Structure 1
Amino acid sequence: MAVVLAAGGGVWAVVGGDDGDKEPKAQQSTEPKEKESTEPTKAPEESATPEEEELDPNEIRQDGEAKVLFQTSAPKVTRSGEDVPGFWVLDDYVVKAVQTKIVAYDNSGAEKWNVPLPKTVCAAPTTANDDGKVVVAYEGRKKDECSQLALIDLRAGKKLWDKPAPEGGMFGGGYNSLGLAQSGDAVGLSWFGGSALVSVKDGNPLPVQELTAACSVKGWAGGKALLRAYSCNDGTAKLQKVDPATGKVAWTYPVRKGYEVAKIYSTSPVVIHLVNKDRKSGGLIAVKEGGKERSALDLGGQNYQPDCGMSIFGSSMGSCQGVVASDDTFFLPTALGKSSSSGLTTEIHAFDLNTGKKKWESKTDGRMMSPLRMDGKNLIAYQQPTYDKAGTIVSISPSGGKPQKTVLQLPAATREAENGFYRTRRVFDERGRFYLASERLTGDEEKEKLIMAFGP
C-alpha cells in the first residue's frame, strides 16, 4: 500500500500499515525526484496606503464576491528568493515579520506599529502563546547564521528581550537551517547539529532531558502541545511530549527500529510521518496521549502531498500546511493529478484516527484543494485559483463528498495577485476572514504581494 508524500524539495514513497500489518514495508519510489529601540514605531498618520496607486478591486467586484480588506505590496529584496517567515492573526489586526521589522497591520491595511530588529528575521514559529507573545530569530554575526532571539509582544507592539540562542548539540552553535516551535511558555530550537529549549518569559535555557552523544534532535513541533523528535546512530528513534512549563518529558513514543520522524502534522491529536533512513518507505502514525500507538493510517496506493515548504535538514518539523486533525479524524490532500474535465486537481481524504481507515473523500474537478481548519464538525478548505477562476473557501460536511457550501468567493479582480504568491501562509479565522501572507519573495516588485486579506 504505497503512497508518495512530498515535504521540502524531496519526494519519496512511504507505506501505511493496517490492522493486520503494522510494520512499514519498503517500496522504491517511481516519482521524479544605530541603537535599536524596544518600543514600537508609529506610522505617520498621513502616510499613503500601500495600494492607493492601484485600482481598488472593491469598486469592480461582482455580486457574491468577498471584500478585499487590504493588500500590501512586497518590499524590495536584495536577491531573488528571500525568505520572510512569520505571520500571526490577532483579534482585529495581523502581524507580519518583514525583513528587519515586525509589523502590525489593521483591517484596512494601515500600519498599526512596527518593532525594528538589528538584522533580518530568519526563523519564526507559526503560533504565539495565549498572551500574544512570540519568539523570533534573526541573523547573527556570521554568514548564514540564524542565532539571535527576540521576544515580541504582539499585543503591545514591543520587544521584551533580545538574547543569543543557547548552544547545544554535537556542533554547539552554527544555527544552520534553524527551526522554531512554540507552545505555551517554551520554544524549541533545532538546527543542523544542535538543539535547545528556551523560556519565552526570559529567554533563558530550560532544562530538558539530555540525549547521549549517539543521538540528536531532529526537530520540534508546537501549538497545542510541544513535541520533540530525535534519532540515534543505532537506528532507533523516539517522539517525546515535553511540558513547556518545566521542560520535563511527559511521555515517550518509541518509533519502530529503522525509522525516524520526518514531520509532525499535528501535536494534539498527535499525527506523525515516519520514514526510513533513505526516505523511501514509512507511514503515517497516530499516537495516543501517553505515547502508545493509536493507529497506522491505511493510505493504500494513493499519492498525497501536504504543503511543507522547504527545510533542507528537516528542522521545521511542525510547519506543514494542508493537513488538519480533529479529535478523531485526519484530513490529507492528494498529490496533483489530472481531473476528468480539465486542469490539475487534488482531493481531500479523511482518515479515522482510531482505526486508520479512510472514511471519505472530497473531489472538485480541475481545482487544487487544501484543508485549512475545522468549523465545528465541518472541514474548511481552500480551493486555489486557476488560470481563469479566483480561489474559494468552501465547507465540506462530516460525510465528505463535494463541498456543500462556498464560504467566501474571492474576487476575480485579484485572481492574478492571488495566483502570484510563491510560498504562502494561509489562515481562515473565526470571523470569516481569509489571509494570504508570503513567506518567500521572488523579487517581482511590480506585482508581488506581501499580504492579501479578504472578508465577507
Structure 2
Amino acid sequence: MTQPPPPPHQPPPEGGFGPPRDQPPAQPPTPPAGSPPSLDKKPEPQAPAPHASPPPAPAGPPVPPAGPPQPGYGYPQTPPQPQPGYGYPGPPSPYGPPQPGSYGGQPPTVPGHGYPQQAATMPMQSPSAPTGGNRKARNTQLAIIVSAVVAIGLIIGGGVWYSGRDGGGKDTTATGDTGGGTNAKGGADASGGSAGGKEKAPSDPSAKVLFQVPSPAVSKEDSTIVVTGSWLTDKVYAKSGVAEVVGYDPVKGGKLWTLPLAGPVCAASPHTSDDGKAVVVHQPAMPTKAKRSHGCSQVAVIDLDTGKEVWNKSAKAGDRPINFSNVTVSGGTVAAGSTSGGVAWDLAKGTVLWSPKPTDSCYDAGYGGGAKLVAVRKCGSYSARQLHIQTLDATSGKVVSEYKMSKGIEYAGIVSTDPLVVAADVGDSAGDGSGISDFFSIDNKTGELRTRISAPGAEFAARCDTITKIEHCTGLAVGEDRLYIPTEEHEGDGKGYSRTNEVVAFDLASGKQTGQRADAGEGYTIIPLRMDGANVIAYKRPPYDKGGQVVSIDGASFEQTTLLENPATESVRDAETRMSPDYAEFLYSDGRLYMSQVFASSRSGGSGREYLAIAFGTGG
C-alpha cells in the first residue's frame, strides 16, 4: 500500500533507515561541551550543500483532516473482554524469515553502517512554520519501512537456534549471584515505582541550554552510524558516540571520561544496575572498504561513574559468533538476545549464566529487564511461530511463569516487566507501522493473561520496535497497575489548524480506560516518558512559536505541573524539534532534560549545525 512520505522535522527511527533529515539552516560553530551555549543566536543563511534537495518553499498551514477527529479521544471505551490466549493468527510477514548472516545490524544489500537513504533528501519545513498534520500519517511510512529494513537487516546472526533452556522451560544452566535491579536515574523506566513522586516543580520552570554536543564526524563511506545509548546517574550524563561512550558533567557538559570501543555501537541497555553500570553491544572492529560490518558480537559492561570497562565478552552458537540485536540488565544479570539464541552473564564477574544449547528447537529472541527479567522466546517454524513470554529467575534462567501467545503472532515487545505488559501487532492490524495493535497484561507469578487491551493505530500513538529490539517501546509508561498512552494527534479547539492530543490511562486488571485524561494543550503534543512513583513524567512537543515542556501528571487527579519549559527562540526551537521523542532518546531528572540522537550522519557530522545531544535545565 502506498504510504505518504515522511514529513519535515522527522528524524529516522531508531533501528530504522537513513541518516537524519536535511541539514537545518547553518548556525554558528558549536563550542566544546561545557562552554557557553550558542543555540540562542540566530542562524545565518547558507547555500544548499551539493547533491542536497533544493530549499523548500515556505510551508503553509497543514491541511486539516477531511472530517471530524476520531470519536472517543481520551474517553472511556469498552474494550474486548479478557480471553486467555487471545490473539488471532496473522498472515506471514511480507519480509520473509530471518536470513543467515552477520550484518552487524545492517541490511545485507546496503553498504556502510546505515540504512537505505530514503529520508536524506526530504525538504525541511521552515522552522517558523506551524507543524501540524496527523501523527499517524506522519509516522506511517517511516515505521513501515523501518519494519521492512529491520526484518531483513537487523535480525542478525543465523544458523541453528539454541537456548539455555529446553522447550518446556526446564533449567539447563549454571547458577550465579542474584540481586535487585533498577534503571538509571531519570531513565525511561516503564516498571512503575512507589507512591508519590520525587520530581518537584522549581520556583521558575523556565529553562536554558546547559550544553550541546556536536554531531560527530562521519565519513562519506560510512554514511550513517548507530550512536544509540544514553544514561544518567547522579554524577554523569553518558552518551554513545562513534565507537565510543563519553561521560559528561550533567550540568556543565564538560567531558569527564571517554571509553573507546573497538567498533560502532549496535545496541544499548535501557536500564542500568543499582551501582551505575550500563551495557552496550558493539562491533569487534571498525568497518573498512573491504568489510563494511564485522557483526555485533561484543557485549561490554561500563561503569558509568568512572568510565571504566568492567568486562567485554562474546559468545558462539556452534562455531559461529552470535550477533546480538538487543541487551538488557536485571539485578545482577546481563542478558542479550538474537536469532541464534540468548546469552546471560553475571554483571560483576562476566561469567556465563546460560547460553545456546544445540538440543533446543526454541530460542530467546530478546529480553526485557529492570525490576524482573522477561524473555520473548520463539518456538516453531516461521510459518507457525509461537511466542512464549517467560518471566525468568535472573540468576539461573529458570522459568518462573510462562504465557503462550496465539500462533501467528511473529513479534512482541516488552513494555514493562513488573507489572508485565507486552505489545504486539496482532494480524498486522495496527495499520500504521507502530508495532502495536494490542497490549497484553500478564500475571508474572502464574503466567495467566489478565486482560487484553485493544489500541488501534488510528487512535493511539505509542510505538514499539518488536522485531529485534524487544524492549524498545516509546511514548508510553506503566505504573500503579496502569498503562499510560497518548492518543493520536487531532484537530484542536482553537482557531487555525492547530493539532493536539491527550494521555489516557488503562487499568491493567480490567483492560478498561479509567476515564482520566491529560490534555496536551493547544498546539502541543504530549508523550509519556516514564513513571515518577505514582506520577507520569511527560514531554510536550511544542507548537511553532513556543518551547517544549516537561510536565508531571498526578496519578490520582491527572493534574499537570510544569517542571521545565525550554526557550522559544527560533534556533533553540529548531534544534529541539529535530529530536522527536518517537525516535530520539529523552532523559529527565532533577530539573534537567537531555535529548540525544541515535544516528550520526556524514551529512552533518562535525558541522555544529546538528547536535548529538542537547541538555536543558532550570535555575530553581
TM-score higher than 0.5 here? Answer: yes
Letter matched to residue 611 of structure 2: K
**RCO greater where, 1 or 2, for CA within 8 Å and sep 6 or more?**
2
Residue 67 of structure 1 is matched in structure 2 by 208
Q: Does 1:133 align with 2:277?
A: yes
Letter matched to residue 86 of structure 1: G
Question: Does the 8 Å contact 1:348/1:371 carry over to 2?
Answer: yes
2:595 alignment partner, one of 423, 436, 453: 436
Shift in Å, 1:201: 2.3
Letter matched to residue 436 of structure 1: M
Distance 1:95 1:300 in 2: 36
Question: Does the 8 Å contact 1:336/1:368 carry over to 2?
Answer: yes
Residue 91 of structure 1 is matched in structure 2 by 234
Letter matched to residue 230 of structure 1: R
Shift in Å, 1:110: 0.4
Percent identity over the alignment is 31
Distance 2:523 2:223 in 1: 31
1:373 alignment partner, one of 530, 538, 546: 530
1:331 alignment partner, one of 484, 502, 505: 484
Shift in Å, 1:440: 1.8
Change in 2 beyond 3 A, CA 1:406/1:27:
farther
Residue 59 of structure 2 is matched in structure 1 by none
Q: Does 1:273 align with 2:423?
A: yes
Shift in Å, 1:282: 5.4
Distance 2:585 2:554 in 1: 24
Change in 2 beyond 3 A, CA 1:180/1:410:
same
Question: Does the 8 Å contact 1:304/1:334 carry over to 2?
Answer: yes
Letter matched to residue 411 of structure 1: P
Change in 2 beyond 3 A, CA 1:80/1:300:
closer
Distance 2:89 2:364 in 1: 24
Q: Does 1:226 align with 2:368?
A: no
Long gaps (5+) in structure 2:
1-12, 18-77, 92-135, 145-203, 286-290, 431-435
Question: Does the 8 Å contact 2:437/2:455 carry over to 1?
Answer: no
Residue 427 of structure 1 is matched in structure 2 by 587
Question: Does the 8 Å contact 1:285/1:295 carry over to 2?
Answer: yes
Shift in Å, 1:277: 6.3
* TM score, norm. by length of structure 2: 0.60
Shift in Å, 1:278: 5.0
Letter matched to residue 112 of structure 1: L
2:316 alignment partner, one of 167, 185, 192: 167
Distance 1:137 1:242 in 2: 22
Q: Secondary structure, in 3 states, of the residue corresponding to 1:381?
A: strand
Question: Does the 8 Å contact 2:451/2:510 carry over to 1?
Answer: yes
Instruction: Note the alpha carbon deviations across 1:306-365, whole angstroms, 9 max, x for none.
Output: 244xx5x72211122221111221101223444344334332111011111011222223
Shift in Å, 1:20: 6.0
Q: Secondary structure, in 3 states, of the residue corresponding to 1:206?
A: strand
Shift in Å, 1:435: 1.2
Shift in Å, 1:198: 2.5
2:459 alignment partner, one of 281, 303, 311: 303
Q: Secondary structure, in 3 states, of the residue corresponding to 1:320?
A: strand
* TM score, norm. by length of structure 1: 0.80
Residue 418 of structure 1 is matched in structure 2 by 576
1:256 alignment partner, one of 406, 423, 431: 406
How do 1:106-255 residues align onto structure 2 when only pairs under 5 Å count? 106=249, 107-141=251-285, 143-163=293-313, 165-168=314-317, 172-173=320-321, 175=323, 178-207=325-354, 213-233=360-380, 234-255=384-405
Change in 2 beyond 3 A, CA 1:387/1:211:
farther
Distance 2:611 2:207 in 1: 18
Question: Does the 8 Å contact 1:172/1:194 carry over to 2?
Answer: no
Instruction: Note the alpha carbon deviations across 1:216-272, whole angstroms, 9 max, x for none.
Output: 323211122111012222443211112222222222122234335511111111110
Instruction: Note the alpha carbon deviations across 1:105-130, whole angstroms, 9 max, x for none.
Output: 01200011111222222221111111
How do 1:20-99 residues align onto structure 2 when only pairs under 5 Å count? 23-24=86-87, 33=144, 65-78=206-219, 79-99=222-242
Change in 2 beyond 3 A, CA 1:69/1:438:
same
Q: Does 1:348 align with 2:503?
A: yes
Q: Which moved more, 1:17-26 or 1:332-341?
A: 17-26
Letter matched to residue 248 of structure 1: K
Residue 47 of structure 1 is matched in structure 2 by none
Residue 55 of structure 2 is matched in structure 1 by none
Question: Does the 8 Å contact 1:219/1:314 carry over to 2?
Answer: no
Greater per-residue strand proportion:
1
Question: Does the 8 Å contact 1:209/1:249 carry over to 2?
Answer: no
Q: Secondary structure, in 3 states, of the residue corresponding to 2:328?
A: strand
Question: Does the 8 Å contact 2:90/2:428 carry over to 1?
Answer: no
Question: Does the 8 Å contact 1:24/1:282 carry over to 2?
Answer: no
Letter matched to residue 284 of structure 1: F
Change in 2 beyond 3 A, CA 1:340/1:172:
farther
Instruction: Note the alpha carbon deviations across 1:402-439, whole angstroms, 9 max, x for none.
Output: x532211111232111112263111112x222111221
Question: Does the 8 Å contact 2:345/2:353 carry over to 1?
Answer: yes
Q: Secondary structure, in 3 states, of the residue corresponding to 2:474?
A: coil
Residue 33 of structure 2 is matched in structure 1 by none
Distance 2:364 2:90 in 1: 27
Residue 321 of structure 1 is matched in structure 2 by 474
Residue 387 of structure 1 is matched in structure 2 by 544
Distance 1:205 1:128 in 2: 19
Q: Which moved more, 1:64-73 or 1:324-333?
A: 64-73
Distance 1:254 1:327 in 2: 25
Change in 2 beyond 3 A, CA 1:329/1:412:
same
Long gaps (5+) in structure 1:
1-5, 11-15, 34-62
Q: Secondary structure, in 3 states, of the residue corresponding to 2:245?
A: strand
Question: Does the 8 Å contact 2:341/2:355 carry over to 1?
Answer: no
Question: Does the 8 Å contact 1:183/1:244 carry over to 2?
Answer: yes
Change in 2 beyond 3 A, CA 1:118/1:376:
closer
Q: Secondary structure, in 3 states, of the residue corresponding to 1:454?
A: strand
Q: Secondary structure, in 3 states, of the residue corresponding to 1:386?
A: coil
Letter matched to residue 94 of structure 1: Y
Residue 56 of structure 1 is matched in structure 2 by none
Instruction: Note the alpha carbon deviations across 1:83-125, whole angstroms, 9 max, x for none.
Output: 2011110003211111122211012000111112222222211
Shift in Å, 1:302: 5.2
Q: Secondary structure, in 3 states, of the residue corresponding to 1:398?
A: coil
Question: Does the 8 Å contact 1:220/1:317 carry over to 2?
Answer: yes
